[in-house]
Structures are given as structure tokens and as C-alpha cells.
Amino acid sequence: MAFGRLERHSAPQPISEINMTPLIDVMLVLVVIFILTAPLLAHSIRLELPRTEGAVPGTAPQSVMVVLNKAGLVFVDDQPLAAAALAEKLRAVAATQPDTEVQLRADASVPYGRVVEVMGQAHQAGLRRIGFVAEPAAQP
């Protein structure tokens, strides 16, 4: 008489390792999102513009944007410049396009004297049109 071996099927064993593939996929997607959005966030200059009821959006056919941030640093078209470089840049703009409007965006905490200095540099460069950029007043 032959005795056969009775096979027993055991229940599947639990997986003792973490499946890393979904975690890696999610992390790679997040890295791509951060890579794409980081330059957009770093490109803008944070300002707290003064608010007024008379702020009306306007358009100028030719304009150069001059920004003064809280620290008193000057940016022209989102590029940081020193005081001497600002005067040269404004002279170059005035030489090529004398009717260019300077759109001055100054943080509300910038001292008035610093704003006047930048206005004086623009005037000495030959730019006579200066527009002050402000935010509309909050609606009650």
C-alpha cells in the first residue's frame, strides 16, 4: 500500500516589504510640479502697494516698470539694479524712446525720499512721464 503525501495549501503569506513604486511615482510628480512652479514664484517681487480709491488701471504704449521694494532695492523690469546702473538704464531707454512712461511701483513702507530720488533719476535721464502704480481701495 502506497502512502501518498497529502498536500496542504497554506494561506498566502503577508508581504513584509513596503511597495515603493507608488510612493516614488507620487514623489516624482511632485518634484516636476515644484520644478515648474519655482521660477514663477521667485520671479515676482513682493510689494504692498498703497491703496486708493482713485487707482484706475491704465495702459501706456511704451513703458518701463521701476520697482522699489521694502528694503529700498530698485528693480527695472524685474531685474535688480544698483543706483548707478538705474541711471544708465533710464538714459538708454530715454535715448531710444523718449516718450516712454516710467511706471513706478513702490512699496507702501518705502520712505518718500527714496521715491523722489528715483523720480529725479528718471527726470535727469530725460523721461518726463511717470505713473504711480497703486492698488484699488478695498470695497466695503
The CATH number covering residue 56 comes to 3.30.420.270
pLDDT (0 to 100) of residue 1: 54
Answer whether residue 24 is part of any domain: no
Averaged over successive runs of 10 residues, the pLDDT of the chain (140 residues) comes to 65 81 93 85 62 61 85 85 86 88 87 88 88 73
Answer whether residue 17 is part of any domain: no
Phi, psi of 45 (to 5 degrees): -105, 125
The C-alpha cell at 15 is 508581504
Answer whether residue 1 is part of any domain: no
Answer whether residue 30 is part of any domain: no
User: Using CA of residue 68, residue 89, residue 100, residue 123, what is the dihedral sign?
Assistant: positive
Domain count, the chain: 1
Answer whether residue 29 is part of any domain: no
pTM score of the predicted model: 0.57
Answer whether residue 34 is part of any domain: no
Answer whether residue 25 is part of any domain: no
The C-alpha cell at 8 is 496542504
Answer whether residue 116 is part of any domain: yes
Which SS3 state, helix, strand or coil, does residue 96 take? helix
Buried b / exposed e along 97-108 (16+ C-beta atoms within 10 A): eeebbbbbbbbe
Domain encompassing residue 75: 51-136
Angle at 110 between CA 138 and CA 107, to 5 degrees: 40
